[in-house]
């Protein structure tokens, strides 16, 4: 393999950190699952507009390709090689009263974590048999959940296009054909092995075998962040008692994208800030101060509609889950204050 063709104006973390020296040191390395540097970087090479551009095929990718991954992890999370990740999933430690009790600004709140099953390759390097095994064992565990978490599993295979499109439009289900995932082999054998579990109210959902083997999601209308977090924590603990997740003391929960390592948590609100959105510089000054990310309302790489944005924590590694949600809460309080001032 030769050094890839990366245009001069490419701004992804791959383009920034894959120097010719790093490339030379890693180009012939392979993990025990047969995952190569070429596979790890293909998404960023094929999609030059990537923000990051790399994926791991297994936990070992993070050590085998460390000269590249460590740089990206440090750049994205500000987390160094010697740092240790800490987890805290105690809702009592979260100080998050509803920032919008009158429901003027926050439309909905969602918190998700990514999880992968211990001792198996991640999605980019998994075989069809292993992926199907993940689906059957995870669904077996999910089918034993009780109370608010009780629900049913809906495989993508056999789901009608209408039902699938409706679930996507309503923000419950992952999209199909993501070009970033496609290029790293995460869409192989689609739609087999993929599906969604949810309770009747669709306040608790689990995506199976998308970018990560599990995405555990708690969501509801309005801004009661603590209620959403508490439900998520209950769900994580219940599932964890049935399925062992891949976790490492240095980088926390192992995920296929390095941006998700650590807590693997993204806590977001859909929030209407049409006045603030007219001054993107002021908007960004607030989100940067609280380590937040702005996305459009149909997920990553989508646009805003009617001044409504998806605002979430940017940091996920080297901070606890409680801190990740606290970042989001505190930033949202500041955004609402700014929007109110502009409205007046
Ligand atoms: P992820 O959160 O899993 O990284 P995306 O950014 O692609 O992935 O979002 C997945 C889906 O979740 C999208 O349909 C998005 O609109 C929806 N979503 C995210 N945050 C919220 C929210 N606060 N309320 C409602 N839907 C949300
Ligand atoms: N590979 C894509 C997405 C990176 C971060 N997001 C997720 C969903 N992992 C990129 O580099 O832009």
Residue 86 lies in a domain: no
Active site residue 112: yes
**CB atoms closer than 10 angstroms to residue 238:** 17
pLDDT at position 302 is 82
Residue 314 lies in a domain: yes
pLDDT band at 307 (very low <50, low <70, confident <90, very high): very high
Of 254, 250, 9, 7, residue with least CA distance to 113:
254
Residues 18, 117 within the same domain: no
Residues 54, 137 within the same domain: no
The residue from 21, 42, 77 where one domain ends is: 77
Residue 133 lies in a domain: yes
Residues 54, 100 within the same domain: no
Residues 103, 188 within the same domain: yes
pLDDT at position 198 is 98
Cα dist from 69 to 49, 250, 300, whole Å: 19, 13, 22
98, 224 contact by CB (below 8 A): yes
Active site residue 10: no
Residues 194, 148 within the same domain: yes
H helix intervals, 89-153: 128-142
- The stretch 265-280 carries a mean pLDDT of 96
Q: Does 116 have pLDDT greater than 90?
A: yes
Residues 147, 219 within the same domain: yes
Q: Which of 59, 64, 257, 314 is catalytic?
A: 257
Residue 4 lies in a domain: no
* Phi, psi angles (nearest 5°) of residue 35: -85, 130
Residue 328 lies in a domain: yes
Q: How far apart are CA 212 and CA 260, in angstroms?
A: 10
pLDDT at position 74 is 97
Residue 125 lies in a domain: yes
Q: Is any ligand 2 atom within 6 A of the Cβ of residue 182?
A: no
Residue 40 lies in a domain: yes
317, 252 contact by CB (below 8 A): yes
Six-digit token string for 226:
């603590």
Q: How far apart are CA 299 and CA 301, in angstroms?
A: 6
pLDDT at position 214 is 98
Q: Is any ligand 2 atom within 6 A of the Cβ of residue 296?
A: no
Q: Is any ligand 2 atom within 6 A of the Cβ of residue 293?
A: no
The residue from 77, 108, 130 where one domain ends is: 77
Residues 265, 178 within the same domain: yes
pLDDT band at 208 (very low <50, low <70, confident <90, very high): very high
Pairing type for strands 252-253 and 151-155 reads unpaired
* Phi, psi angles (nearest 5°) of residue 228: -65, -45
Q: Is any ligand 2 atom within 6 A of the Cβ of residue 10?
A: no
**CB atoms closer than 10 angstroms to residue 163:** 11
Active site residue 259: yes
- 203 CB-near residues (< 8 Å, 6+ apart): 148, 218, 219, 220, 231
pLDDT in tens, 309-343: 999 999 999 999 999 999 999 999 999 999 999 99
Active site residue 314: no
Ligand closest in space to the Cα of 111: 1
Q: Does 260 have pLDDT greater than 90?
A: yes
Residues 264, 330 within the same domain: yes
pLDDT at position 299 is 80
Residues 326, 299 within the same domain: yes
pLDDT at position 201 is 98
Percentage of residues in the chain having pLDDT higher than 70? 100
Six-digit token string for 116:
């992968």
Alpha carbon of 18 to ligand 1 centroid (Å) = 30
pLDDT in tens, 228-251: 999 999 999 999 999 999 999 999
Alpha carbon of 50 to ligand 2 centroid (Å) = 7
Report helix, strand or coil for 94.
coil
Q: How far apart are CA 165 and CA 139, in angstroms?
A: 22
Residues 36, 95 within the same domain: no
Residue 237: domain span: 91-343
Residues 289, 175 within the same domain: yes
**CB atoms closer than 10 angstroms to residue 101:** 11
Domain count, the chain: 2
Q: Each residue of 113-144: b (16+ CB within 10 Å) or e? A: bbbbbeebbbbbbbeeebbeebbeebbebbee
Substitution site in 186, 299, 305, 329 for ligand 1 pocket (most atoms within 8 Å of beta carbon): 299
Q: Which of 131, 215, 231, 315 is catalytic?
A: 215
Ligand closest in space to the Cα of 169: 1
Q: How far apart are CA 286 and CA 224, in angstroms?
A: 21
Ligand closest in space to the Cα of 12: 2
Residues 300, 254 within the same domain: yes
56, 124 contact by CB (below 8 A): yes
pLDDT at position 277 is 94
- The stretch 294-299 carries a mean pLDDT of 90
- The stretch 63-87 carries a mean pLDDT of 96
pLDDT in tens, 136-175: 999 999 999 999 999 999 999 999 999 999 999 999 999 9
Q: Dihedral sign, CA of 244, 248, 249, 255?
A: negative
The residue from 77, 102, 133 where one domain ends is: 77
pLDDT at position 240 is 97
Residue 85 lies in a domain: no
Q: Which CATH number covers residue 142?
A: 3.30.590.10
Q: Is any ligand 1 atom within 6 A of the Cβ of residue 110?
A: yes
pLDDT band at 41 (very low <50, low <70, confident <90, very high): very high
Q: Which CATH number covers residue 54?
A: 1.10.135.10
């Amino acid at each position: 393999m030769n050094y890839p063709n990366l245009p001069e104006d490419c701004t992804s973390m791959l383009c920034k950190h894959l120097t010719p020296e790093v490339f030379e040191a890693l180009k012939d390395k392979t993990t025990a699952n047969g995952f190569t540097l070429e596979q790890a970087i293909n998404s960023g090479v094929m999609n030059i507009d990537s923000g990051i551009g790399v994926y791991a095929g297994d936990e070992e990718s993070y050590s085998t390709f460390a000269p590249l991954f460590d740089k990206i992890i440090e750049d994205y999370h500000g987390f160094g090689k010697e740092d240790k990740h800490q987890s805290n999933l105690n809702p009592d430690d979260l100080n998050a009263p509803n920032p919008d009790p009158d429901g003027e600004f926050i439309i909905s709140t969602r918190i998700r974590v990514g999880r992968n099953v211990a001792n198996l390759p991640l999605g980019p390097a998994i075989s069809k048999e292993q992926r199907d095994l993940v689906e059957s064992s995870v669904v077996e565990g999910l089918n034993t959940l009780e109370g608010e978490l009780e629900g049913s599993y809906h495989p993508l295979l056999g789901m009608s296009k209408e039902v699938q499109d409706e679930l996507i439009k309503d923000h419950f289900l992952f999209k199909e054909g993501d070009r970033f995932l496609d290029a790293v082999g995460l869409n192989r054998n689609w739609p087999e092995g993929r599906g969604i579990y949810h309770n009747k109210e669709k306040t608790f959902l689990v995506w199976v075998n998308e970018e990560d083997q599990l995405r555990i999601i708690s969501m509801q209308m309005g801004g009661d962040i603590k209620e959403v977090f508490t439900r998520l924590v209950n769900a994580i603990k219940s599932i964890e008692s049935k399925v062992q997740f891949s976790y490492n003391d240095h980088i926390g929960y192992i995920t296929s994208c390095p941006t998700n390592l650590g807590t693997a948590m993204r806590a977001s609100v859909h929030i209407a800030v049409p006045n603030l959105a007219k001054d993107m510089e002021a908007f960004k000054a607030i989100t940067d101060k609280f380590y937040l990310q702005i996305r459009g309302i149909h997920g990553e790489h989508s646009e805003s509609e009617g001044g409504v944005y998806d605002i979430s924590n940017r940091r996920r590694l080297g901070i606890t889950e409680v801190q990740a949600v606290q970042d989001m809460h505190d930033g949202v309080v500041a955004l609402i204050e700014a929007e109110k001032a502009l409205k007046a």
